[in-house]
Structure 1
Amino acid sequence: MNNTLLEVVNPYDLKSIGEVKLVDWPTIDGWLNTATQLHRQRKNWLPAHQRIAILKKTAQLMQGQFDELAFQIANEGGKPLVDAKVEVTRAIDGVELCIKELGHLTGSEIPMDLTAAGAGRMAFTTREPIGPVVAVSAFNHPLNLIVHQVGPAVAAGCPVLVKPASATPLSCQAFVNLLYQAGLPEEWCRFAPCTSAVAEQMVTDPRVGFFSFIGSGAVGWHLKSKLAAGTRCALEHGGVAPVIVDESADVNAMIPALVKGGFYHSGQVCVSVQRIYVPEDMATSVAQAIADKASLLKVGNAIVTETECGPLVNPKEVDRVEQWVDEAARAGAQVLCGGHRLGETTYAPTVLLDPPAKAKVSTQEVFGPVVCVYGTESLEDAILRANSLPVAFQAAVFTQKLNAALRCVRELDATAVMVNDHTAFRVDWMPFGGRRHSGYGVGGIGHTLRDMTQEKMAVIKL
């Protein structure tokens, strides 16, 4: 390992809060060799009961360090403390869910006498670990995303190397250390912060059995294109989440949900509410109601209890959001609230009414505190506009009409459609992932655990 250090800062005041050592390629090369040998020699495999005991102990240790883990999420990731506590709860539940899902990881009997050719035989399948896992993660949920990638690998019996986002490595490091404290031998899980070049070399190495990626589409698709033959993968990217509102929607109940879904973690969520399609005669009033509530959100340092919207992950992201909003405003969008930066690291919660269809805020993932509202001519018009982009992740519809709800569920291009809830809703056992440019494969702890195993069939001639 070289002595290059990665400095970690609080993204609000940019003050240093820690550092981690970057791992060099020779070290990772050795780790991959060890991981390969662990997988190839069945005698090295950890039995299921031992993996379960380790995960149980990990969850207990996490509960004992609940406040410290929440503060660390807020301090390095900029997620408000109230939401960071929710993330820790989810992460603990996620570790426990790995145990539950492991009990459901079973094979099946294959009927063999359906034709004369198979008569006199019996067959069944079992599931085995797929091999060394490499996980590359994102900054916006620095503990829970690691649990979603590393927890299933440990449960499945796969050695795993995990590269956290460079902005938020401390939560990942804490989780890996808790696994060690719970009894997991270090060779089964390696904390691997590294440069992009080293990460690409690690991901594309032929010894990797499964690659788990959470991050930008540009990086994810690039890495997938360079994977070694035989490496399986799952990619989770982002979307430009659409919401359809029809004339029957319960507006009073809807507005708080849209504000939460749009401005949670300052919009730095892959399924944040971004495009809201409203009947033309309701668009201005709905947009103004969202703006009225968004303008009251308290923006500041995420470690302060009162903060509701924290900083963006770095000042360059504030610059980018500022440029996109300014572009939309110059092209005719009405700025109903926000529309300006509050400092080097923060941007005001912003609501735009009718930005142009080709503006960046209408076509690309903002990943910032910006919500756009558009007037539409009909439900058909709203669905067409919602489906107009090459990304497709989670979508939503607000309506009191069953026919409208079911039509949107049927016709929206999305992996999940929320009815009378915002697009950012998620529980950790549900299938979660994007279509088309938004990703490849399906996340969710049970689905990931299954992806990290492979089926083997035994055929016995009687």
Structure 2
Amino acid sequence: MQNTVKIASPYDLSVIKELNLMDRNELEKAIQTAQHLFENQSLWIPAYKRMEILEKAASLMSDRVEELIHLALSEGGKPYQDSKAEVLRAIKGVKLAAEHISQIKGEQIPMALMESAQNRLAFTTKEPIGIVAAISAFNHPLNLAVHQIATAFAAGCPVIFKPALTTPMSGIALAEIFKDAGAPEGWIQVVLCERDLAEALVTDSRIHFFSFIGSAKVGWYLHSKLSPGTRSALEHGGAAPVIVEQDADFGEMIPDLVKGGFYHAGQVCVSVQRVYVHEGIIENFIKKFVTEANQLTVGDPADAATDVGPLILPKEVDRVAEWVNEAIVEGAQLLTGGKRISETLYQPTVLLNPSEKSKVSTNEIFGPVVCIYTYTDRDEAINRANALDVHFQAAVFTKNIDIAMDTVKKLNATAVMVNDHTAFRVDWMPFGGRDTSGIGMGGISYTINEMMREKMTVIKSKYL
């Protein structure tokens, strides 16, 4: 009897669909299919054809926007307005992948710089790296799939894509759209399997590139098991810090920070989590931030008026509640929220000055919780912001350009937003963590480049 997985609504826990899980024999067939496509260069898809297929896929996605929105929100729980933004981003991502194909190129390497290198012409070209094994996360089920599937396809790599088992339907729909757009059989394969088979996939010696989006614990574990020569890109989470100076513009800042903290119930790897506010403005900041947070509508993600939807699983609500209660016992002041609304919903919560040793201060919360800390000296606040081993995106709010640039320089982050929240992202910018937060850079064009490798040709001729 074949094992199955039930896909349930994160909001009301109703079963949406039941899907079959892959067994080891089926996984082997998937890898063999990808290997055959890559090793037989006569089967490679020429650049112009890859562009046509990607452009057609983007067009088909545009025709099916509402269908994709409801699919994503039903399995992932992200509110309608934010799921719509995700789908539109995903369409743009596919278009960006198509556009970048024309930018895949090598360069001439100068020769004749010494006598022994005369009469030679040297240049590099780019080739697909090989089979891509991609493991994705639940929180952006369509857009993350685009960042792993469309990029691999654009680079000319067969891709085996394993979505999160809580949210596989968007990735499956994307693969079907690519098929409808003309992608040949086998170039995009979606596999549903348990963790042991996922590990067998990514650690197989036939895999050339491992793309991972998820927890640091799992990502670094799998990274340690890769076959020699397998290149990897890991995107983990963080605990995004924000520095707020006394001259910050409250009218712009408060809505941005509330959105950045509670968007998708905080289930975003760069959610606003730790906000360091100068003591001179702390009372005003708290008043305005809490007021704005209390105006958020929590509920059914299918309702266009909902701002904050459910967490992905009830056990995640349990965990967030446990962390918040622990922080309060350890000295944090509860400013608002702190209560479970239902089995799947948790109030947007704001804590003031939790202990630096509490889980909400040291771990990625991945829930609708924002922590506020006071400071008097900016350098001391920056040191506290940098104290963890995760470093992804950060932010500073100030109207003083010198303070802004000094803070940008001192914050340990791959990106620092000035007068914007930490969760800002467009899909053509580099995106990724450093240190424990990950390795390699995401972003459509950056990922395509990572999925390719260089080959140099050197021609010797007495006529050169």
Q: Give the TM-score range, shorter chain.
A: over 0.9
Matches within 5 A, 1:193-204: 193-204=192-203
Q: CA RMSD in A?
A: 0.8
Tell me by how many angstroms 1:44 deviates. Answer: 1.2
| Counterpart for residue 237 of structure 1 | 236
| Counterpart for residue 293 of structure 1 | 292
**Match of 2:241, as an amino acid?**
P
Tell me by how many angstroms 1:156 deviates. Answer: 0.9
**Residue aligned with 1:352, SS:** strand
Query: What percentage of aligned pairs have identical amino acids?
Result: 53
Query: Does the 8 A contact of 2:246 with 2:280 survive in 1?
Result: no
2-structure distance, mates of 1:64, 1:6:
29
How many residues were matched structurally? Answer: 461
**Match of 2:219, as an amino acid?**
G
**Residue aligned with 2:343, SS:** coil
| Counterpart for residue 106 of structure 1 | 105
**Match of 2:306, as an amino acid?**
T
Q: CA-to-partner distance for each residue in 1:307-339, whole Å, 9 max, x for gaps?
A: 110000000000000000001111111111101
Query: Does the 8 A contact of 2:234 with 2:438 survive in 1?
Result: yes
| Counterpart for residue 173 of structure 1 | 172
| Counterpart for residue 449 of structure 1 | 448
2-structure distance, mates of 1:117, 1:388:
52
Query: Does the 8 A contact of 1:284 with 1:353 survive in 2?
Result: no
Matches within 5 A, 1:148-297: 148-297=147-296
| Counterpart for residue 65 of structure 2 | 66
1-structure distance, mates of 2:316, 2:35:
39
Query: Does the 8 A contact of 2:212 with 2:235 survive in 1?
Result: yes
Tell me whether 2-11 or 441-450 shows the greater mean CA deviation. Answer: 2-11
| Counterpart for residue 459 of structure 1 | 458
Query: Does the 8 A contact of 1:162 with 1:191 survive in 2?
Result: yes
Tell me by how many angstroms 1:115 deviates. Answer: 1.7
| Counterpart for residue 125 of structure 1 | 124
Calculate the TM-score normalised by the size of structure 2. 0.98
Query: Does the 8 A contact of 2:106 with 2:454 survive in 1?
Result: yes
Query: Does the 8 A contact of 1:52 with 1:99 survive in 2?
Result: yes
Tell me by how many angstroms 1:341 deviates. Answer: 0.8
1-structure distance, mates of 2:2, 2:142:
25
2-structure distance, mates of 1:271, 1:207:
33
Tell me by how many angstroms 1:281 deviates. Answer: 2.7
Question: Any runs of at least 4 consecutive aligned residues in structure 1 with deviations exceeding 2 A, and if so which?
Answer: none
| Counterpart for residue 373 of structure 2 | 374
**Match of 1:222, as an amino acid?**
Y
**Residue aligned with 1:79, SS:** coil
1-structure distance, mates of 2:389, 2:290:
28
| Counterpart for residue 340 of structure 1 | 339
Q: CA-to-partner distance for each residue in 1:401-460, whole Å, 9 max, x for gaps?
A: 011100011110000000000000000010000010100111111011011111000001
**Match of 2:368, as an amino acid?**
P
1:45 aligns with 2:17: no
Structure 1 gaps, min length 5: none
2-structure distance, mates of 1:73, 1:290:
29
1-structure distance, mates of 2:19, 2:30:
18
| Counterpart for residue 55 of structure 2 | 56
Query: Does the 8 A contact of 1:20 with 1:169 survive in 2?
Result: no
**Residue aligned with 1:187, SS:** coil
Calculate the TM-score normalised by the size of structure 1. 0.99
Tell me by how many angstroms 1:118 deviates. Answer: 1.3
**Residue aligned with 2:305, SS:** coil
